Amino acid sequence: MKSYHHGNLKKELIICACKLCEKDGYTNLSIRSLAKESGVSQSAPYRHFSTKSDLYAAVAVQGFSELGKACHMDPSKKITKKKLIKTGRKYIEFGLNSANTYDLMFGTAVGSFSNYPDLLISANATYDNFRLSFKKLANDSEEVISHKCIILWSMLHGLVGILRKVRIAGESYKESEGPMAGANMIAKNLDAHLDIVLTNIIKG
């Protein structure tokens, strides 16, 4: 157990909460468990998080910040399809390697993001950077760009779930049977799959 009695307590508590979330899942994360793990009094975290939802929101903000950093592209520079494919891979890798945090970020446990301005800003910033970068490759109206970005994001989001199953299933399926065989092929050739999907969305 590490004691967090110095410096910025809220920041240290959020760091600890993020670790607990990823280790045990957000459903096992509570203000009580956070206090115990942090080595502070049971009342100390309540000075910063009034409810469990407040704590969840803080962890989600950190998650979107990390996802945004991993996937950030500078829209003032040349954007290529290769860069977008690389960004898509980083998005998927985040969803696979930070699965519990990802589930909290995109689940319903936090409730409406509008109740947490910092969370809304962090989530929107990640998407806005993606949209501005995609816009460099698609010669369409803003409405069509937004539509295509949602399609692409939905595809990435879906792949996170599918590729999680691939990791769990391993080689326990028959190569020629069921969707897992196709999912495994995608996992082994992810860049090629993203290239095909991205090309079709841009042209569509």
d(CA 83, CA 102): 23
Q: Is the pLDDT of residue 2 over 60?
A: no
**Which tens digit of pLDDT belongs to each residue from 20-51?**
999 999 999 999 999 999 889 889 999 999 99
Q: What CATH number is given for 1-50 in this structure? A: 1.10.10
Taking the domains of the chain in order of start, what are their residue ranges?
1-50, 64-203
d(CA 176, CA 190): 19
Q: pTM, whole model, 2 decimals?
A: 0.89
Helices (DSSP H) in the chain: which residue ranges? 9-24, 31-38, 52-71, 81-97, 99-106, 117-135, 142-169, 178-188, 190-203
DSSP 50: S
Task: Give me the pLDDT at residue 171, please.
Answer: 59
**Which tens digit of pLDDT belongs to each residue from 85-141?**
999 999 999 999 999 999 999 999 999 999 999 999 999 999 999 999 999 988 899
